[in-house]
A and B are shown apart, each in its own frame.
Chain A
Amino acid sequence: MKIVVIGGTGLIGTKVVANLRQWGHQAIAASPITGVNTITGEGLAEAMKDTDVVVDLANAPSWEDKAVLDFFTTAGHNLLAAEVNAGVKHHLCLSIVGVDLMKNVGYMRGKMAQEGEIKKSTVPYTIIRSTQFLEFLPGIANQATKDNEVHLSSLQFQPIAADDVALLVAKAAVAEPLNGTMEIAGPERMHMYEIVERYLKATNDPRKVVPNNDNHYYGGEIGESDLVPAGKASLGETSFEKWMASQAANA
């Protein structure tokens, strides 16, 4: 199959492309770097030619509310229009667990708009909602750091390893479209502060984690369990410990 991976040069994208190629598919890593731009439409029609599946992993270049909304709406609109024209048979998009619940967060509204475009379009689709990636942990820690203390809430958290995400996405891409949503998550659920504490400890980071009840996530207040799957979810195999081990090996 010819599979175009939008955002195919990013963290998950490269891994998905690698998986697909390994399974013998013709995977195109599409991104502005490789000449495919979903905002301007550049290279889009050419990339879509004879394409069976499109995997959309693109992320907004800015985190500002309106920019995010514009990006996901426009990119989704353009991409799906090109897919319809090219006769693409499956559109897969990576979204976020709880995206429909966290209406206070601008980024989530952008992702909801993207999902909306997909459902509105005539292209068969699969939406995969994922929890946060384990790879985000250092970023989360840094963002919450104040005077060598890491202030984090007790939100429910169930991060998944990027490799697992890539594998599950690649599998779904070559499977039949669900015309619906599936959720993926890591194998362990704990409080946000808890896992960051474990991460800092494992990396011998001297910062101290201070738990709080501030349920703010990227600028908006969210529910205690909004970040974890409510129902049945496909779980990644990589536990925190295993992930830490592989990180250490890579380093």
Chain B
Amino acid sequence: MKMENGQVTELPVPSKAALEQERKILLDLGNDIARVREKNDLITLFSKRIKSFFYFTHTIVTLIESKDETYTPFLLDHEHSPIRDHNRYGEMVAAHFSLNDPFIQAVLAADGPISFLLEDIMDKPQSPSFLKVNYERGVREILMTTLRNEEKPVGFIHIYTDRTEGFSLEFRDTIKGITPQLASAVANIIKNEEILNKEREKSFLLEFSSEIAAVRTKEDLALAVHTGLSKLNALRGYVIRKINEDGETLSTYIYDPGIANFDDPEWVAVTTARFPLYDGLQNRVLESYIPLLFSVEREVQRGITSSYLHYWKKVGYRTMVGIRLHYGITNLGILWLGIEEINIQLLQGICFQISVAMANIVANEQVEKTQQEQAFLLDFSNDIAQVKTKPDLEAAIFKVLDNALHSKLSMIRLIADDGVSMPAYMFDNTLFVNAGVTHEQMAASVITIEEPYTAKVLASKDGVVFDIAEELKGGSAYAKLWAATGLKYVYALPLRAGNKLLGTIWLHSDWLSQLVLRGICAQISVAIDNIQANEKLLAYKKQLEVENDYLKEQIKTIYNFSEIVGSGEAMQEVYRLMSIVASTNTTVLVLGETGTGKELIARALHNSSSRKDKLMVKVNCAALPTNLIESELFGHERGAFTGALDRRIGKFELANHSTLFLDEIGELPLEAQSKLLRVIQEREVERLGGKQTIKVDVRLIAATNRNLEEEVKAGRFRADLYFRLNVFPINLPPLRDRAEDIEPLIHFFVAKFAKNTGRKIRKVSPKVIQQLRSYTWPGNVRELEHLIERSVLLATDEVLQDVYIPKQSTSDKQDLSFILNRTLEEVERGYIVEVLKRCAGKISGPGGAAEILDVPGNTLHSKMKKLGITKADYFS
């Protein structure tokens, strides 16, 4: 530092020429500065101007960095620098030289340019290395001038020369003179650079923003991000990771197509993986307000095991910048940049734009998804609207679950009429095959509403989601079954129609949207409710049809007795028995000859029982072909036998809560007897071809004109059935044994038929009454009724004068054997007494015995005398 010529030498008065030079340089410099576009142009132009007056090798400008008190090259003369090819040139350009050394302190202390011989100073311990480097390239002397801004040092002009004569006084003066100009030029360049940078950032962000504004989809965003980020200097790659729906992992959302490598399984793995949010790296980015710069190596050493970090290391990324993408307080994801430095303003700007776009896309996707779900529900609703039957519903449900929701129906259970049990209604046969559960097992499984899982579901509003893995931990037996499906969750929902709980639906799926789930369950509920109502309606309709048919048939066939006519002693006994048994549920066996009114008695019993509100059902066992009896009595399922085209409700079912009247029970085939017996014992029936039994509450009344005891003995009637039926027998007397009732019956029928036929018959002639009384009435009351009907039709005036009793030419063959064992006299005597009894002791005249016997009255008298027949014989 002995060469402080500038300061020790007296300053000579500058020559006019020198002043002129300085003025010219300043002028030119002013023009140059205005033309400068690139910062190093300034130094080039400045060198050129000065060199036209003075000699030097090259010049550079360094700037002071106040934060660490260093100075660093700013403007370089690439053209003339002799050290450009020095192997330390790169190091020199990037170096920060300390202000804390005697050389530069001397420069700062000097008031104006100060020169040094490199030889003298370059080897001093604290001297900056550039002195030596320059010396090695032939430079001998350096002229240093401090640039000041508002009195504060901001940088230095370094002027180097390889000549030993150094820098002239005039040169020093000129430099001193133009230093302030140069200082402000440098300040301007710095400001301009800043403004330019800001401008560039702003236009970049503006451009990026307009690209982002057009983004509608993820693909658009990927393109915009790629276009934008490609403009960043030194960017080696990027990836955007999005926080997944679980909120615990992140997956690649957008990747840099420039570094995509589908042939590299590791790249593919990193791009498709879900990385846990709390992996020690991603969480740090998401928790940071500012972009973070990571050293890949340091994070690896820290023990972060995330595979992407190790992939980055493998592909040679040294540093990565991670920036949180967030919208409001909601974190969306992370933008990872393979870059060495951080430009906060720019990155924040970029990330803000990306975040907004991402949030919009996510919202859009959500809206679209909701719309799709709604459209889907509408479709399903249309499908469901067409459903009339259970098979239709099953088809609709399986279609929607399999095709659209990738879910499986495990079970629909409906609450039975008892309000407690829940039998299976619909299920997927195939679902639990792996677990060894068969169709039959599923169909037969009945649970109750108290089953814990079911109770939980029924109590819930919108159903319960069971995580199968969780349930497995709890050791639930159901969960083991569920796990066999390979799906993650069981969605169980209550089925409700209005306020009514119908049952439960159980679905297996990996994921189901709540909206869709609730939607389809509501639809299914309504459909099931409708189907059930429909089924009930059909059943009622069927029953009504059957009842209607039956009634029509009955109107045609039954005796329209509104009451039983007759007050004779025999009938009094019948009435007594009836009054005892009517109000009970006891099985009654009505016995009596044909036409004695067995059905009338049965009907009277029914009508005076508590079951009278329901229709008594009658089955004529004799009227049915053997092979149809069972179907008639017990009903049959569709397809139970050839010709069973429809389901048919049996008479037993029809007579539920009523009375079943089995007429002509004696005619029932043996095979049917055993079945009937079973029904009577169990009080439940099973339809032919059906699987379930139906409980019935039926009161039985059976009737026959046969002697059942005889039948049992002959093996034509089951004894056990007979005993079952013969609980309370009522014997109806034949009409010939209740002659006293004949007259009231005549009047009853005459009135009835007269009314029916519209004839006015006021009276029945005594002759007719006598005639009818004396008839034996093998057909009993029914015969009488028909006889009167015919007589009324044939009557010509208001008095019934004639009846048409069939001639007894065809005498009862049944009596023949009886007769054959007797003497002629006995036969004759018995026969005459019998006839007299029937004719109430009248011997001659119309309706008299003589008429029936077709002998004159006198002949009969003498025959009676001869045979000793007295009044006592026929009035007994």
Contacts and interface: CB of A to CB of B under 8 A. Distances in A.
Contact of B292 (A8, A21, A45, A46): A45
B295 A87 contact: yes
Q: Which of A28, A41, A42, A87 has the most CB of B within 10 A?
A: A41
A53 interface: no
A85 interface: yes
Contact of B68 (A29, A40, A44, A81): A29
B290 A40 contact: yes
B347 to A, nearest CB: 9
A78 B288 contact: yes
Contacts of B291: 41, 45
B320 to A, nearest CB: 10
Given A42-B344, A85-B293, A28 B288 contact: no
Given A40-B344, A46-B341, A85-B293, A26 B68 contact: yes
Interface in A161-212: none
Contact of A45 (B67, B342, B348): B342
A36 B290 CA distance: 13
B505 to A, nearest CB: 50
Contact of A41 (B68, B100, B289): B289
Interface in B604-623: none
Contacts of B67: 8, 28-31, 34-36
B66 interface: yes
Nearest to B99: A21
Contact of A78 (B100, B290, B345): B290
A86 to B, nearest CB: 7
Nearest to B100: A21
B295 A86 contact: yes
Contacts of B288: 77-78, 81
Contacts of A21: 69, 100
Interface string B230-269: 0000000000000000000000000000000000000000
B295 A41 contact: no
Interface in A40-77: 40-46, 74, 77
Nearest to A77: B289
A30 B298 CA distance: 24
B66 A34 contact: yes
A74 B295 contact: no
B466 interface: no
B777 interface: no
Contact of B290 (A33, A34, A41): A41
Contacts of B295: 85-87
Contacts of B68: 26-29
B55 interface: no
B293 A82 contact: yes
B294 interface: yes
Nearest to B291: A41
A84 interface: yes
A113 B113 CA distance: 52
A78 B298 contact: no
Q: Which of B287, B293, B342, B345 has the most CB of A within 10 A?
A: B293
B816 to A, nearest CB: 125
Contact of A46 (B69, B100, B298, B342): B342
A41 B292 CA distance: 9
A29 B284 contact: no
A138 B290 CA distance: 38
Contacts of A28: 67-68
B294 A81 contact: no
Nearest to B298: A87
A82 to B, nearest CB: 7
B292 A85 contact: yes
A86 B342 CA distance: 13
B419 to A, nearest CB: 60
A27 B69 CA distance: 9
Contacts of A36: 67
Nearest to B285: A81
Contacts of A78: 288-290
Given A21-B69, A30-B67, A42-B344, A82 B292 contact: yes
Contact of B289 (A33, A42, A74): A74
A29 B345 contact: no
B284 A81 contact: yes
A159 B342 CA distance: 41
Interface string B280-320: 00001001111111110010000000000000000000000
A34 B293 CA distance: 20
Contacts of A46: 341-342
A46 B799 CA distance: 138
B386 to A, nearest CB: 62
Contacts of A45: 291-293, 321, 341-342
Q: Which of B67, B291, B295 has the most CB of A within 10 A?
A: B67
A35 B348 CA distance: 17
Nearest to B284: A81
Nearest to A2: B68
A41 B322 CA distance: 13
A250 B284 CA distance: 48
Nearest to A5: B67
B125 to A, nearest CB: 13
Nearest to A74: B289
Contacts of B284: 81, 84-85
Nearest to B301: A87
A41 B341 CA distance: 12
Interface in B493-534: none
A31 B68 CA distance: 11
A83 to B, nearest CB: 11
A237 B70 CA distance: 32
Q: Which of B68, B289, B342, B344 has the most CB of A within 10 A?
A: B68
Contacts of B298: 85-87
A213 to B, nearest CB: 43
A34 B66 CA distance: 7
Contacts of B69: 21, 29
Given A8-B67, A36-B67, A41 B344 contact: yes
A46 B295 CA distance: 12
Contacts of A34: 66-67
Nearest to A35: B67
B697 to A, nearest CB: 80
Nearest to B66: A34
A45 B284 CA distance: 15
A85 B344 contact: no
Contacts of A27: 68
A28 B342 CA distance: 19
Given A35-B67, A45-B342, A86-B295, A81 B290 contact: yes
Contacts of A33: 66
A82 B292 CA distance: 6
Interface string B160-189: 000000000000000000000000000000
Interface in B795-817: none
B99 to A, nearest CB: 10
A82 B321 CA distance: 11
B294 A85 contact: yes
Nearest to A81: B288
A124 to B, nearest CB: 14
A88 B100 CA distance: 25
A25 to B, nearest CB: 10
Contacts of B100: 21
A34 B292 CA distance: 20
A30 B344 CA distance: 16
Task: Please give me the 9 A-B residue pairs with the lowest Cβ-Cβ distance, nearest first.
Answer: A41-B290, A34-B67, A45-B293, A42-B344, A28-B68, A81-B288, A45-B342, A29-B67, A78-B290
Given A31-B67, A44-B290, A74-B289, 18 more contacts: A21-B100, A29-B67, A29-B69, A30-B67, A34-B66, A34-B67, A40-B290, A41-B289, A41-B290, A44-B342, A45-B292, A45-B321, A46-B342, A81-B287, A81-B292, A82-B293, A86-B295, A87-B295
10 contacts: A29-B67, A33-B66, A36-B67, A41-B291, A45-B321, A74-B289, A78-B288, A82-B293, A85-B293, A86-B295
